């Protein structure tokens, strides 16, 4: 009986085109357990030949690995002697299991942060460079904080938390441990060994990649999304949570602040004001929309906020007026002069 | 035909004994098929040395065909991929790779077909009167031999049901379900009102439910433990 079934008949059967006789023969054949292996092999072949669609296997695999790692973390942090969550509740829908995992991680993480993490801070107008215990280099820009595990990196993931802006040069470990930069928003950067800059401030989040390959995990609406970045790309997430990718010729310019340089490329005055506030804690206001939208292109060295303001004054022919805690920029020939 | 319940009486599907193991291989040689058990030798060795690496190889080889197969049941790429990932996850977490007595391929296809079935029953089978008794999903190893045939019937039925839908209704259904797009996006693209989209969806789902209703009774008889 079984020898009467041939591959093309099975394919016809699967496609719903078999004659009633063929159908009967196939099903008789299928009832014999020893044919199951062969049947699955042919289904596999059929799916290779007639794929219904092509899934993004790369992203799916990355998500699977992440899930496995998160599971490891929960198992690691559960009560000693207790069974891992998932083993006690084998029939639990995995979505629930996943959200519980995330909630547990979040709760544990919130409570234990000051205990388990050491913070590196920079003040306004200050940058600082240091080497992590795994040999990775970090340069922190002004007004930024980097949280690093107090007792060293453990487990399969090297994880740090960034608020502000920093450049990373990640050392690849022999056992391929992943390096993950989390940011306060649902946004994280994951790497093996590479150089890149992360900007994570209330104004938005930005990642520029110089070398290697990184993956961004972020949330859009309620969906978890991922994106693989190639060198020379700049990913920007605005306040609304929309992510966009641009090509940059010089990703290393994103870290020009390391040398107290500011690189502007059609940068509006408004953006520079935001920059002054982030890096130097200066409130700078421009009431004139025409000024706010003017742009600057160039490469300026500035140690302090005053250096940068001098540049603006000269290049744009503006005047600066101090008022309480804020500075005002205005046209030198405008009526403000008479006030 | 042997009554399905009689078959279920045996507690466990007999493991493939070495003698039975040889059989499909012999046939393979005759048909000039790739010898799957041998083809998986590398996978087995990798799993023995480094399970994570093994998982990666396994995933790259079978993920796409498994998704393509699952989508024939659930008609949603999102759900299909979730089901397939879940199978891989459980395969890894429970270390099933250490003690399966079929090929990886067979194990994965069987599990995905089973998951897809369970999913469809949850989504479209709620109204079936016998459903209460079978909330626990049948263990993959304990399924009756007829199960594979019933799975085939199920995905063919789903296919037929969707093919029967009127053109516009089918289009809306595929955009919403397969591509996972929002109602208002579909409405915009097809230049119809969101209300119409909703009506099409309701119609398609009702139709699917009706077509599948008969299937569940058959399947449940076979799969109740």
Nearest to B89 by CA among A71, A198, A141: A71
Half-sphere exposure of A96 (CA within 13 A, CB side): 7
Nearest to B21 by CA among B38, B43, B7: B38
Placement of tokens 């990886």 in the chain: B104
Residues above pLDDT 70, as percent of chain B: 69
In this structure, is residue B20 part of a structural domain? no
A39/B145 Cβ within 8 A: no
Which residue segment(s) compose the domain that B159 sits in?
Answer: 29-223
pLDDT, position B20: 40
Q: So what's the ipTM on this one? A: 0.76
Question: Which has the higher per-residue pLDDT, B112 or A247?
Answer: B112
In this structure, is residue B1 part of a structural domain? no
DSSP codes of every residue in B113-171? HHHHHHHHHHHH-TT-GGGGGG-SPPPGGG--THHHHHHHHHHHHHHHHHHHS-HHHHH
Q: What is the mean pLDDT of chain B?
A: 76
In this structure, is residue B108 part of a structural domain? yes
Indicate whether B21 pLDDT > 50: no
Instruction: Return d(Cα A232, Cα A210) in angstroms, integer.
Output: 6
Indicate whether B72 pLDDT > 90: yes
What distances in angstroms separate CA A268 from CA A3, A264, A289, A309, B212, one per listed residue? 76, 9, 11, 14, 61
Does the CB of A48 have a partner CB in chain B at under 8 Å?
yes
In this structure, is residue B116 part of a structural domain? yes
In this structure, is residue B215 part of a structural domain? yes
Name the region of A266 (left: φ>0; alpha: ψ -120 to 50; beta: rest).
left
Distance from CA of A179 to the nearest CA of B (A): 18
Question: Which has the higher per-residue pLDDT, B215 or A28?
Answer: A28
pLDDT, position A86: 44
Instruction: Return d(Cα B121, Cα B58) in angstroms, integer.
Output: 28
Domains located in chain A, CATH noted: 2-49 (no CATH), 57-114 (no CATH), 116-253 (2.60.120.1440), 260-338 (3.55.50.30)
pLDDT, position B145: 64
How many domains does one find in chain B? 1
pLDDT, position A4: 62
Taking contacts as CB-CB distances below 8 angstroms, the residues of chain B near A13 are 152
| pTM score over 0.80 | no
Taking contacts as CB-CB distances below 8 angstroms, the residues of chain B near A61 are 56, 59-60, 63
Instruction: Return d(Cα A56, Cα A47) in angstroms, integer.
Output: 16
Q: Which of residues 70-89 of B touch A (CB under 8 A)?
A: 71-72, 77, 80-81, 84-86, 88-89
Instruction: Return d(Cα A210, Cα B146) in angstroms, integer.
Output: 57
Indicate whether A266 pLDDT > 70: yes
User: What mean pLDDT do residues B116-131 have?
Assistant: 66
Indicate whether A339 pLDDT > 50: no
Split at pLDDT 50, 70, 90, the class of A153 is confident
pLDDT, position B14: 39
Indicate whether A278 pLDDT > 50: yes
Does the CB of B106 have a partner CB in chain A at under 8 Å?
yes
What distances in angstroms separate CA A7 from CA A19, B155, B201, one per listed residue? 15, 19, 37
pLDDT, position A2: 45
User: Least CA distance to A63: which residue of chain B?
Assistant: B85
In this structure, is residue B4 part of a structural domain? no
pLDDT, position A79: 42
φ, ψ of residue B201 to 5 degrees: the values are -65, -45
Question: Which has the higher per-residue pLDDT, A12 or A276?
Answer: A12
Does the CB of B26 have a partner CB in chain A at under 8 Å?
no
Nearest to B115 by CA among B134, B92, B138, B135: B138
Does the CB of B199 have a partner CB in chain A at under 8 Å?
no
Nearest to B68 among A3, A52, A63 (CB): A52
In this structure, is residue B203 part of a structural domain? yes
Which of B2, B6, B63 is the best substitution to test chain A (most A C-beta atoms within 10 A)?
B63
Split at pLDDT 50, 70, 90, the class of A273 is confident
Distance from CA of A236 to the nearest CA of B (A): 25
What pLDDT digit, counting tens, does each position of A186-230 carry? Answer: 677 777 667 777 777 777 777 887 777 777 777 776 777 777 777
Question: Which has the higher per-residue pLDDT, A229 or B2?
Answer: A229
Nearest to B27 among A31, A38, A54 (CB): A38
What pLDDT digit, counting tens, does each position of A79-136 carry? Answer: 443 344 444 445 557 777 777 777 777 676 566 566 667 788 888 877 888 888 888 8
The answer to whether the CB of A235 falls within 8 A of the CB of A243 is: yes
Q: If you ran DSSP here, which 8-state letter would residue A81 be given?
A: T
In this structure, is residue B181 part of a structural domain? yes
Which of A2, A4, A52 is the best substitution to test chain B (most B C-beta atoms within 10 A)?
A52
Instruction: Return d(Cα A294, Cα A11) in angstroms, integer.
Output: 67
Minimum mean pLDDT range among A64-68, A295-299, B20-24, B193-197: B20-24
A63/B60 Cβ within 8 A: no
Distance from CA of A76 to the nearest CA of B (A): 14
What pLDDT digit, counting tens, does each position of A25-36 carry? Answer: 999 999 888 888
pLDDT, position A279: 77
Instruction: Return d(Cα A26, Cα B149) in angstroms, integer.
Output: 9
Distance from CA of B63 to the nearest CA of A (A): 7
pLDDT, position A127: 80
Q: Is A328 helix (H, G, I), strand (E, B) or coil?
A: strand
Instruction: Return d(Cα B86, Cα B79) in angstroms, integer.
Output: 10
Nearest to A64 among B85, B106, B109 (CB): B85
């Amino acid at each position: 009986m079984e020898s009467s079934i041939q591959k093309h008949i099975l394919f016809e059967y699967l496609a719903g085109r078999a004659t009633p006789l063929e159908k009967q023969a196939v099903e008789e054949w299928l009832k014999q357990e020893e044919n199951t292996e062969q049947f699955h092999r042919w289904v596999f072949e059929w799916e290779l030949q007639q794929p219904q669609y092509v899934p993004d296997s790369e992203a799916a695999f990355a998500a699977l690995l992440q899930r496995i790692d998160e599971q490891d973390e929960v198992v690691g942090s559960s009560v000693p002697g207790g069974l891992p969550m998932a083993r006690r509740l084998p029939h639990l829908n995995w979505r629930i299991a996943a959200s519980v995992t995330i909630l547990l991680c979040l709760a544990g993480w919130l409570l234990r942060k000051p205990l388990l993490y050491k913070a590196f801070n920079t003040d306004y107008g200050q940058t600082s460079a240091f080497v992590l215990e795994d040999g990775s280099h970090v340069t922190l820009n002004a007004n930024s904080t980097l949280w690093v595990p107090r007792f060293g990196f453990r487990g399969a993931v090297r994880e740090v938390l960034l608020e502000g802006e920093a450049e990373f040069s990640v050392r690849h470990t022999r056992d391929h441990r992943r390096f993950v930069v989390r940011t306060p928003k649902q946004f994280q950067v994951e790497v093996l060994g590479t150089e890149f800059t992360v900007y994570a401030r209330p104004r938005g989040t930005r990642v520029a990649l110089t070398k290697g390959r990184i993956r961004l995990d972020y949330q859009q609406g309620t969906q978890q999304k991922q994106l693989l970045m190639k060198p020379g790309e700049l990913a920007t997430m605005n306040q609304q949570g929309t992510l966009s990718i641009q090509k940059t010729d010089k990703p290393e310019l994103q870290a020009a602040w390391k040398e107290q340089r500011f690189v502007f490329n059609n940068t509006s005055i408004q953006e520079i004001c935001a920059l002054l506030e982030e890096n130097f804690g200066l409130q700078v206001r421009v009431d004139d929309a025409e000024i706010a939208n003017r742009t600057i292109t160039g490469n300026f060295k500035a140690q302090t906020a005053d250096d940068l303001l001098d540049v603006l004054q000269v290049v744009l022919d503006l005047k600066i007026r101090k008022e309480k805690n804020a500075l005002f920029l205005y046209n030198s020939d405008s009526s403000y002069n008479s006030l | 035909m042997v009554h399905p319940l009689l078959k279920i009486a045996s507690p466990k599907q007999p493991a493939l004994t070495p003698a039975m193991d040889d059989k499909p291989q012999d046939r393979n040689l005759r048909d000039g098929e790739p010898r799957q058990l041998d083809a998986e030798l590398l996978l087995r060795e990798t799993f023995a040395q480094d399970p994570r690496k093994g998982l990666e190889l396994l995933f790259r080889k079978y993920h796409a065909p498994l998704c393509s197969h699952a989508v024939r049941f659930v008609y949603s790429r999102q759900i299909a991929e979730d089901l397939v990932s879940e199978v891989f996850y459980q395969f890894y977490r429970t270390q099933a790779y250490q003690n399966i007595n079929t090929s990886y391929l067979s194990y994965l296809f069987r599990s995905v077909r089973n998951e897809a079935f369970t999913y469809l029953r949850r989504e479209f089978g709620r109204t079936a009167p016998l459903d209460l008794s079978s909330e626990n999903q049948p263990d993959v190893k304990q399924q009756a031999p007829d199960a594979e045939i019933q799975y085939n019937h199920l995905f063919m039925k789903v296919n037929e049901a969707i093919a029967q839908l009127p053109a516009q209704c089918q289009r809306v259904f595929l955009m919403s379900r397969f591509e996972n797009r929002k109602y208002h996006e579909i409405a915009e693209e097809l230049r119809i009102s969101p209300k119409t989209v909703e009506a099409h969806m309701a119609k398609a789902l009702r139709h699917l439910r009706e077509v599948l209703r008969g299937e569940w009774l058959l399947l449940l008889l076979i799969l109740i433990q």
